[in-house]
Chains A and B, each alone.
Chain A
Amino acid sequence: MTRDKEIVLSVRNLTKAYSAAGEKVSVLRGVNLIVAAGERVALTGESGSGKSTLLHLIAGLDRADGGDIDFAGTPMAGLNEAGLAALRRDRLGLVFQQFSLIPSLNVGDNLAFQSRIAGRNDVAWQTELAQRLGLAGLLDRYPEQLSGGQQQRVAIGRALAVKPLLLLADEPTGNLDETTADNVLALTRDLVARTGCSLLMVTHSNRLAATLDRHVNLSAGLIA
């Protein structure tokens, strides 16, 4: 499947353990994963299986105990804190279950925020995003004045405004009802296709996972 396409993400033998109540708990025990350019991958697994941990490691929010992550040919282990920040800023888009919008900025500013700090503020693209996400009439509102679905659409817009190579989404529909979740995911798929970026989405829902190109399951710290 990925043989003919350029590889955006390569994860090899990734391990990660945490200490809990004095005991070492291995969350990831040697995960291998490859995501090709433009590919949309769903990552499923039971609660506590390590899905979010894997996503955080890929996003450079945390460090692995062992193994390698190459992002667009760059080994992430060799990047320092500033390098990881630059990678997130310029080449990654992150969407969280809790939306993580900036409450003191209005929708317009939240949408433009990451692209501004990345120095790639494309107003035309933001306008298109706002329209496609149904946010054009809400640009002056603040996050607290939006519904959950609207807030998540702003979060997706912010992540895509920078035209990332890879969009990492951690349970983006976990806080939404079924209809809204379907709408949000459909929009995400369209926009990912429009930008040509890859998508790695953590979800509990096999139904939603089935709508993406590939479905991988994380179980007992390993991808089956």
Chain B
Amino acid sequence: MTRTLWVLAVLLSHWRRHPMQFATLVIGLVSAIALWSGVQALNQQARASYDRAAAAFGGTRTATLVSRSGGTFPQQLFVDLRRAGWPVSPVLEGRIQIDGRSFRLLGIEPVTLPAEVGDTPAIGGDLQSFVMSPGETRVAPETLTELGASEGGSLQASNDMTLPPLRLAARLTPGVLVVDIGIAQQLLKMPGQVSRLLIGKSKGPRASLESVAGDRLRLIKPDAETDLERLTDSFHLNLTAFGLLSFFVGLFIVNSAIGLAFEQRLPMLRTLRACGVSSRQLNAVLLLELVFFALVAGLAGMVVGYLIAAALLPDVAASLRGLYGAQIPGQLSLRPQWWLAGLVISVLGALLAAAASLLKAGRLSVLAAAQPQAWHQAQRRWVMLQGMAALAVFTAALGLLWFGDSLLAGFALLAAILLGAALALPLLLELVLAGGERQARGALAAWFWADSRQQLSGLSLALMALLLALSVNVGVGTMVESFRQTFVSWLDGRLAADVYINAADDAQAKAITAWLRERRDVIAILPGGRAETQFAGAPLEIFGLPDRATYRDRWPLLRSAENSWARLRQGDAAFASEQLARRSKLSIGGAIEVPTPNGDWKIRIVGIYADYGNPNAQIAVNFDALTNHFPTIPRTRIGLRANQAAVPKLMSDLREKFGLDEHSLIDQATLKAESKRIFKRTFSVTAALNAFTLAVAGIALLTSLLTLGNSRLPQLAPLWAIGITRRQLAVIELLKTMSVALVTALLALPLGLLVAWCLIAIVNVKAFGWRLPFHVFPLQLAELLAVAMAASLVAAAIPVLKLARLQPAELIKVFADER
């Protein structure tokens, strides 16, 4: 044991004498773990929220009975089923407007609530006060804040009905109001109606479902994965991909630091062996040292990761809300598993990064002498091997492109392209530098290229990191910019009306419509409405389009049949959203059948439209046809076409006349600005992760150059001795670094565009169901190139300045016997 500690002390003494190298190692490990664990914290937080949502009162984790038509059904069925031995509990769900904002209202019956659902903390508290008059409205803390209310206060819905006093339920999903089912039936004006029946797990004799409910109800089995989990998989996969990228870039730094330390410690290791430390013991202590560093740096990385996650959480929550309607609490709560997983991944990452050095140490011969030429040849062999591996990975990528048909295959293709490019980089750089060497005129120029080639092996990992970070930046930047441009022009078409009104109820909508008809400044009144139904076992939204020129001229259709608008008017045709068409493999001329309160509705697809940002399947039908099939849908949405100059006056009159606030009355410009703001926020997480990754790559380059700088003296000292000044040497070193960085950055541009194509044509299509047009933005590419070169300049500047200020004595040492 004592011997082990002594050997450990000797190994550690190296780091004490090389603090910069130690800092590099720690920075590498911290960078690798920080973003990875931060992303995992965000994913964990989001998934816990989905679980909460799923567990709350009959989410997908509970077996349920629903109406075959997709609507509500009489409460009597609940009574009949209970009597027949079914452990069911009724739930009524609807939306309620409060201060112009829409909330999900859940009516539950706590006495019959199945134990496994009732056990959710959401119900908690005093059951009696929940069911007895005046009852309670249970809300999450976030909802209470959103409502601007306090516990005990009462709220008034837009239909003038008062909700029971508010009561906090800490673990309830945000955006949900939970009341007793009787109160919900009153508030939603659905007396005696039930949305679904939750089925408890208790076993016992029960009559068959058909004998009690006939064919009116349909059983939905519990699902291991929630709808939200399915929908948001791609978002989390995206975050994970960034975390992984940063993890590997961080490991590049660790690999570089450990590799260099190993080379520098070789004489020390040989001396230790010569002094009687066995190979096994030496390797065990090297491993111990590494694990110790990994644990300490991993812990530090996780603290940084926590801070990153806390900083990103508001944007991630906004993205998930904007893209999927998922509600994520704004406070980060971490489980012990997160800490444990972080430390394990830190140790595994460090072992992976140090594998080559540990293997070399394991095979270390006490007598091996330095063989620079052999080393150079080995390095060349290694570059060739990497080139061949790159070829194999590219072949695999082609296979994935050809045969892959899933989101995972899309991400695997991206990973293969990036990995292949990283592996091919040293070979490509070697070819470029060898070409330069052949063309070189003059001794110094020849040395410039030859020395750059020799330096390549030490820099290649950092350059790979730069290539990956930059190409991902280019790829994601191009995708986001393509999306932004498409989204903006799509918004222009989609937001056809100049003013949007959301009336409190049908009566108010009628009054508003009558009032608007009298106004000369109104060009057209466009009624709107939506209905919810099911298609292929998933929710389907049906959107009503009035037969007006406004829509016919401007509604953005991606593909359509001949006379599509005329066919829509007939009432048995629909436009399908792109994501529905892709998911259900629908094409023009295809047909779908959806349940309605008036029976099944067979609809032919006559057009496909883009519906960016909507996670749910949607079809657009003629508004009159919609109201015929769904007579009870609220007709509270109204769009207006008006003279532009008259819009402000029209809106102020509407506000004054009908008491409409900013939530129920909005003009096109404000709505567009709000949509663009949400879009920007949605991608702000991506932008932040992009910046982090590029920063880590910059650190990788800096640390590689710093560590390389120390071993460069024997190469530089002879030049200094023959009359090249230290300043000249510094300039040459700077030029060398900048030239390889420039070649790398130039290679990253086409690679980034390939990444963008993969994201747009494969990953986005599989993840979201929409395909964007591919654009190239030369200015953006130039900007990223400039950023990369600036990062390289900063990274190269420190070691170069160090070199310029190097004392001659340090250079003389190279020639001294003592060295």
Contact = CB atoms under 8 A, between A and B. Distances in A.
Contacts of A151: 818
A189 interface: no
B17 interface: yes
A88 interface: yes
A86 B278 contact: yes
A144 B817 CA distance: 12
Interface string A136-147: 000000101001
A59 B271 CA distance: 13
B549 interface: no
Interface stretch (B2-10, B217-225, B334-342): B2-10
B278 A85 contact: yes
Contacts of B10: 102, 104-105, 109, 113
Contacts of A90: 276
Interface in B264-283: 267-268, 270-281
A114 interface: yes
A216 interface: no
A96 B660 CA distance: 93
A102 B271 contact: yes
A89 B268 contact: no
B13 to A, nearest CB: 4
Given A82-B280, A89-B276, A94-B274, A61 B367 contact: yes
A88 B275 contact: yes
B276 A88 contact: yes
Interface stretch (A30-38, A40-48, A115-123, A204-212): A115-123
A141 B6 CA distance: 19
A128 interface: no
Contacts of A82: 278, 280
A181 to B, nearest CB: 13
A101 B13 contact: no
Interface in B333-366: 366
Contacts of B267: 100, 103
Interface string B249-292: 00000000000000000011011111111111100000000000
Contacts of B280: 81-82
B520 interface: no
A6 interface: no
A92 B273 CA distance: 13
A175 B816 CA distance: 11
A113 B268 contact: no
A148 interface: yes
Nearest to B13: A104
Given A61-B274, A85-B277, A105 B6 contact: no
Contacts of B274: 59, 61, 88, 94, 96, 100
B268 A102 contact: yes
Interface string A160-182: 00000000000000010000000
A89 B17 CA distance: 25
Contacts of A102: 10, 13, 268, 271-272
B17 A113 contact: no
Most buried by A among B13, B267, B271, B278: B271
Contacts of B18: 104
A190 interface: no
Contacts of B7: 117
A63 B629 CA distance: 93
B270 A100 contact: yes
Given A89-B276, A117-B276, A109 B13 contact: yes
Nearest to A177: B817
Contact of A85 (B270, B276, B817, B818): B276
A14 to B, nearest CB: 16
Interface string B112-156: 000000000000000000000000000000000000000000000
Nearest to A102: B268
Sort chain A's interface into a size bin.
35 or more
Given A104-B10, A148-B817, A142 B275 contact: no
Contact of A89 (B2, B270, B275, B279): B275
Contacts of B2: 116, 119
Contacts of A87: 276
Nearest to B267: A100
Contact of A117 (B13, B17, B275, B279): B275
Contacts of B277: 85, 89, 117
Contacts of A101: 271
Most buried by B among A82, A113, A148, A175: A113
A62 interface: yes
Contacts of B275: 88-89, 94, 113-114, 117, 158
Contacts of A148: 817-818
B519 interface: no
A215 interface: no
Interface in B789-818: 817-818
A96 B367 CA distance: 12
B6 A116 contact: yes
A108 to B, nearest CB: 12
A104 B273 contact: no
A104 B817 CA distance: 19
Contact of A142 (B17, B268, B367, B817): B17
B68 interface: no
A56 B276 CA distance: 13
B276 A62 contact: no
Contact of B14 (A85, A104, A118, A119): A104
Nearest to B15: A104
A81 B367 CA distance: 14
B649 interface: no
A62 B367 CA distance: 8
B657 interface: no
Interface in A12-67: 56, 59, 61-62
Contacts of B6: 113, 116-117
A81 B270 CA distance: 14
B230 interface: no
Given A102-B271, A117-B7, 16 more contacts: A62-B366, A82-B278, A86-B278, A89-B276, A100-B270, A102-B10, A103-B267, A104-B14, A113-B10, A114-B275, A116-B2, A116-B6, A117-B275, A117-B277, A151-B818, A175-B817
Q: Which 10 A-B pairs have the closest CB atoms?
A: A89-B276, A85-B278, A104-B13, A88-B276, A104-B17, A104-B14, A82-B278, A100-B271, A114-B275, A116-B6
28 contacts: A59-B274, A61-B366, A61-B367, A62-B367, A81-B279, A82-B280, A85-B273, A85-B276, A85-B277, A86-B278, A87-B276, A89-B275, A89-B276, A89-B277, A94-B274, A96-B274, A100-B267, A101-B271, A102-B13, A104-B10, A104-B268, A109-B13, A113-B6, A113-B275, A114-B276, A117-B6, A119-B3, A148-B817
Interface of B: 2-3, 6-7, 10, 13-14, 16-18, 267-268, 270-281, 366-367, 817-818
Interface of A: 56, 59, 61-62, 81-82, 85-90, 92, 94, 96, 100-105, 109, 113-114, 116-119, 142, 144, 147-148, 151, 158, 175
